[in-house]
Amino acid sequence: MNAVAGLVSVGLEALDAQAALQTRVDRKYVVPLSATDGILAELTATEPATAVLEIAGARSFGYESVYFDTPDLDSYHLTVRRRRRRFKVRTRAYLETGGCWLEVKTRGARGTTVKQRTACGADDRRRLTAHGRDFVAAVLHDAGVAPVPVDELAPTLVTRYRRTTLLLGGATASRATIDTGLGWSLDDPARTTAGVDGLAVVETKTGSAASALDRVLWSRGHRPVRISKFGSGLATLRPELPSTPWNRVISRYLDPATAVDAARATPAQR
């Protein structure tokens, strides 16, 4: 993504001050990695105030997320069934900067995503401490999620990827992320057993209104897709699980037999 180098930079504190968006509408797109420079060039021509997150001179950062679920995969099955009171629990580690957070996602009004988090130690990212379990239980209770056996939550899926974060210009504060090199593992993050090659997952995080980046993507024929790092990844690695919401994404982008063609395809060919 050479176009990122030409963007103005923004620090993490300024990004969070302008577009924290812990309650938001998420739209996700899968686009060929080769198309991202053209998309960013058109975006900055439309919204020249677009900025990229920069920390210590870096504009791309490695992430590791560990998703937790019950032995019966309650979180996964609630997600697959699109239940109103679904939830996700994960730790997110920032590999270069060393930060780590325990995060709980629930659903708010009108389909918004509500994310709450608390700091955790990097050594604790594959387990829930007593503080972590208390935090998860309190968030789920306040969100009205049906009783969850928090003591039974255990690591279920590991994802790794590199992320570039944009602060989008325009009338409404919003941000977007571009994830590349996305891979999944059931246990060892060093052993990737499924991944997205030659493709970027672009996610816009806005209030109720679409962002300038959404409009650029639409103009180029890209439409939001249902892809979940947790759901799509676990369904790909465990094909015996129900996967209806992500069947199209899995067959088009995650199946090795078709992923190469998807990375080369134009929007009109999809």
Q: What is the pLDDT of residues 217-268, one digit of tens each?
A: 999 999 999 999 999 999 999 999 999 999 999 998 887 555 445 555 555 4
Overall average pLDDT of the 23-31 stretch: 85
CA distance 247 to 242: 9
**What is the residue-wise DSSP string for 163-183?**
EEEEEE-SSS-EEEEEEEEEE
Domains defined for the chain, CATH in brackets: 2-269 (2.40.320.10)
Place of tokens 């993507």: 217
pLDDT for 260 equals 45
pLDDT for 97 equals 84
pLDDT for 2 equals 85
Overall average pLDDT of the 187-199 stretch: 72
CA distance 234 to 141: 26
**Amino acid identity of 97?**
T
Q: What is the pTM of this model?
A: 0.86
Q: How many CB atoms lie within 10 A of CB 32?
A: 17
Nearest to 167 by CA among 6, 4, 42, 15: 15
| 86: pLDDT strictly greater than 70 | yes
Overall average pLDDT of the 100-121 stretch: 89
Q: Provide the angle, in degrees to the nearest 10, between the axes of the packed helices 36-46 and 212-219.
A: 130
User: Judging by beta carbons within 10 Å of its beta carbon (0-12, 13-18, 19+), is residue 108 exposed, middle or buried?
Assistant: middle
